[in-house]
Each structure stands twice: as structure tokens, then as C-alpha cells.
Amino acid sequence: MVEFQPGTLLWVNCDDGEWWPAVVRKMDNDSLLVVGEGYDICVEFYHDPGNLYPVDLGNTGVRVLHRAVDERDAMEEGFFRVHATQEAVKRVLLDDTHSGGAPTEEEPPPYSPEELQCMSALLKSVNHATASQLRKTLLAQEGIDLSSRNIRQRITEKDRRRRKRPARHLEEAGPSSYDVKVVREADSNPRPAEAVAVAVPLVSDPEWTFQEAFDPAALDIVRKEVFENKERCVLSPLYRYLDLLGAVAVDGIPVETTLPTPRALHEVPGERLLESRRVLLVALSASSFEHTMGWMAPFEYEGTTIAMTLFVNGAVVKTPCNSSLPSGKEAVAVKTATVADITTHVLHKDLFSLAVGFTGYIEDISLWKGVIAAVYVDLIDMDTLEDRIVSNYKVPPRRKSRDDVVGVQVKITCPITALPLNTPVRGFLCEHMQCMELRSLLMHCARTNVWNCPLCWAPTTPETTLVNYRLKEWLETHQTQLDKVDFIIETPTGVPLRPVWKRKTARNGADVIALE
């Protein structure tokens, strides 16, 4: 009796009298005995995939199927022309996995680098001699190489293949349920990210997942630990925090959620927000809710720009740009959150929809993981903030083993704008005596969201900014002479400041040469 190995193609004569194509499948003897005695193999018919049938090789109703035309006899050639079995025959001819009479055994997929690392770690739990013997046996019998060099090479190859995978481009897709429109955002100072007019095609292919917003308990933790924590400088000093409206977690995939507007949580006079009220989106880290992590920065991947996209009630909101810092200044930088102002999108209803997507997707890579919070704030006027700093009347902390600084030259022009000083300030911890113009410093810090002195990187938040009242008073009383002053020399307390006047350069008429 001929034995057929798994994968062999056969013709089987069935009860309807027709010869049907089938393939031999692996089946242990115990299973065949359960079916009944007298059966030798199991086959899977091409016209009934997924089901196995026991076959007795002792009868004459089984013969090998030959895919090659030159290997067939006249009788088998007729089997290929039977109308009733045409569909099954087509499947045989299209199936490249098997060849008649010469089946190929299915090889298991190779072990991944991670699986090899786990095997190697298990071998380290036994003594060295046993581990060495097991490594040799696995290599000789199974072809499994657990050497450190091989594992490193496999990991390197996997990383290289991953980098070569093409990005699945989503063309800045928004949720399919939205009609995308663009609404220009309210103009405020500091200037948040504004909506830009971009063409966003409606794409139904991306799988947008509805993500539940933070429940009240989780929201209360974020509220107290982040926005009401006096030790954390989250929002720009030009914003006064009022309330945390809601938050949603993002884990590298497109999500959409529904959050309340100020109308739902607060009394709004005249059913519209006050002119100074704003609703902002703030990005936080997933673990500790740090605002310094910022938003996902766009990057290029195989010619495609991968970026985060924000949609509020279907309108596109430009993702804010993160603060840029010089190398080595991260540790001392006082950074506030870069925010997206969505006020104009949430004025008229009690709820608003927020969708967070990506312009592309890279397999096995989490693009951005964090929390996006919607915050209700009051915009503080720049003049109000200036008046608050001037009225602080604070003095710098007395440093140990240090006398009053005298004899130091101070320019009366601002190093930021090169314009004459009006309200000279510097940070409490600034080691220099040179002052900057208060408004220029505030505008610089608000624009960059970095509240440090641009000269020495000492903190310059409103609470750590010092006004040089002596110099301010001198400037106010000598307004008409400022253009003649080169710099001011600091003097001891009680002694008037000493100006150094610009030198007058006399022009010698004899040295002037007329050019024609």
C-alpha cells in the first residue's frame, strides 16, 4: 500500500462518482482510530476547505494528482475537464504551496530576537556546563543559535527592516463624521497657535477610536497636581487659570472624544464668554502630567511628513510648536506650556468634540503618548502684568559675603531691542547689573514660552523679576538728556547715580575730502 505524506495532492473518487482534488493533511493515529477503523489518512478537499475527511487507501478510489501536464495520463487529463469539479481544479492550479507527489513540509517560522533573548536568559539559570551542552544541542538539532553575537545581529536586522517599512499616509485625515471647516482663532497675547487654511480631504479609511474623557476623580487629580499646584509653572503668566474643563489620553492612535465647554460648567453672562476668557488645549505627559514634554514635533519618514493633527468640532486647529532651547539649558529653563487657543470653536454649545490624529502611521512605533487637557483661563493684559511687577517693590536676596555692587557700568539701552530703557528690570538671581526693558522682556518670554533672562538664563517670571527703581527714577528725571548718556555707573545707596556722557567728536574740516 502506497503511503502519502502530508501535503500530497490526490484525486479522490467520492459518492457522486466524480474525482475531486484534495490534499493530504497530517493526522495522528489515535485521531484516526476515533473516527473508525479502516482509515489510513485524512484529506482536505479543495471544494470544502477547512474540513478533514478520513480516507481508506485500500480501495481504488484514490490516486495522485499531477499538476504538470506532461506527467498526466489520459484518464487524469479527463479529470481536469469535468464541469462539476472545475472550481476546485482551478484552486489546485492556483495553489503554489503543494506539488503532486512531492510535498514540502511546512517549516515553522524562525524565532524572533526577543524569543532568542528569553531562551538565552533561561540557560543562564543553570550551571555553565549544562548551558553549554544545551546550546550545542539546540544549534545541532534545531539550528537555533543562542550566541550573543547572533542575537545582536538579529536585533540589528529587525531594526533595519523596521526603518525601511513605508509609512501609511493618511493625508491629514479627520474623522469621517465631520465636515472639515476652518475658523480663524481669536487674536490674543501671547499669540497661541492659530488655525490655518489647509485642504483636508475626508478619509474614511483611518480607524478613529472614541476615547472616553477623564472621569471626575482622574480629572480632579490633574487639576490639583498640575494646574492648581503653586510649585509648577504650567501656564504663561499672561493667563490666569480658572478651571480644567476636561482631558483625554492619546496613545499613538487617532482618537476622538467629547468635552464640556465653559457654558456647561460656569455661568456665562449674556450666553457668551467675556472678551478676556479663553479655552486652551494643553499637552501633558502620560505618566507625570509634565507640560514640558510638549506636542509631537513633525518629522520626515521616507519622504512623508508625519505630524499630529487637531480637530475641534471638525475644524482644523494647527498643532502648536514646542519651545526651542539652546543646548545645555534644559535643566535651568523655566518653560510654560505651548497652547492652542480654541475659544472661537466652543462658544455656542455645551459640548465640543476633540479629535487627535496623525498624518501617517508607522508600524510598531507609538507616535505620541500623552494627555491633552482643555483649560478655561482669563487673559491678563500686558499693562496689568507690568503694573503688578512694578508695584512688587521687591529687593534682590542678600548674598553671603557680598557687598553692594558699585562702580559697575550699566547701559541705558535694552539689550533685547537696543531701545532706551523706561522700566529697567533684571532677574533676582541675575549676576549682572545690566537691565532690560520690562515690556520687551515680557514679550520675549511670552513669545518663546521660556521665562529666563536672555543674558544669563536666571529665572525671570513675574515673581522673580526685579525693578531697578533708582535707575528708573533717574531715567524719568533725565528724559531730555538720555541721547547724550553713554552709560550709568552704579553708586552706593544714598549717592546719586553717575552718568557717563557720550564723547563729542569734533570734525576737522580740513580732513573732509569732497568726492565727485
The tens digit of pLDDT for each residue in 415-441 reads 999 999 999 999 999 989 999 999 999
Residues 493/404, Cβ–Cβ less than 8 Å: yes
pLDDT for 155 equals 67
Rg of the Cα atoms in the chain: 39
CA–CA distance, 133 with 151 (Å, rounded to integer): 18
The pLDDT tens digits of the residues spanning 364-375 come to 777 899 999 999
Note the pLDDT of residue 31: 56
Topology, domain 385-501: Herpes Virus-1 (3.30.40)
The pLDDT assigned to 32 comes to 57
Looking at residue 33, its pLDDT comes to 56
Domain ranges of the chain: 9-94, 113-164, 209-380, 385-501
Residue 199: its pLDDT value, please? Answer: 38
Decide if 457 contacts 332 (C-beta within 8 A).
yes
The CATH architecture of the domain made up of 9-94 is: Roll (2.30)
Q: Lowest mean pLDDT: which of 156-160, 338-342, 435-439?
A: 156-160
pLDDT, mean over the chain: 80
Burial status of residue 322 (CB atoms within 10 A of its CB: 0-12, 13-18, 19 or more): middle
Please tell me whether the overall predicted TM-score, pTM, comes out greater than 0.85 for this model.
no
Taking alpha carbons only, the member of 289, 291, 280 closest to residue 225 is 289
pLDDT greater at residue 165 or residue 248: 248
Q: Give the separation between CA 374 and CA 474, rounded to whole angstroms.
A: 46
Q: Tell me what pLDDT residue 194 has.
A: 44
Q: Band the pLDDT of 101: cuts 50, 70, 90.
A: very low
508 burial type by CB count under 10 A (0-12 exposed, 13-18 middle, 19+ buried):
exposed
Please give the share of the chain, as a percent, with pLDDT higher than 70: 78
φ and ψ of 169, to 5 deg: -80, 130
* Cα torsion 482, 483, 485, 490: sign: positive
The pLDDT confidence band at residue 125, using thresholds 50, 70 and 90, is low
Confidence of residue 106 (pLDDT cuts 50, 70, 90): very low
Per DSSP, the residues of 419-483 read: SBPSSEEEETT-S----EEHHHHHHHHHHHTB-B-TTT--B-SGGGEEE-HHHHHHHHHTGGGGG
Fold agreement between 209-380 and 385-501? no
Q: Tally Cβ neighbours within 10 Å of residue 54.
A: 16
Q: In terms of DSSP bridges, do strands 168-169 and 360-361 run parallel, antiparallel, or are they unpaired?
A: antiparallel
Predicted local confidence at residue 439, as pLDDT: 96
pLDDT digits (tens, 9 = 90+) for 269-295: 666 778 899 999 999 998 889 999 899
3-state DSSP assignment of residue 410:
strand
d(CA 386, CA 394): 14
Query: Which pLDDT value is given to residue 171?
Result: 43
| Fold type of domain 209-380 | Jelly Rolls (2.60.120)
- From residue 91, alpha-carbon distances to 86, 87, 286 in Å are 9, 7, 51
Cβ count near 97 (within 10 Å): 9
**pLDDT greater than 60 at residue 507:** no
Cβ neighbours of residue 201 under 8 Å, at least 6 residues apart? 171, 172, 173
What 8-state DSSP symbol labels residue 344? Answer: G
Closest CA to 498 of 509, 510, 489: 489
CA dihedral for 265, 267, 268, 271, sign (positive or negative): positive
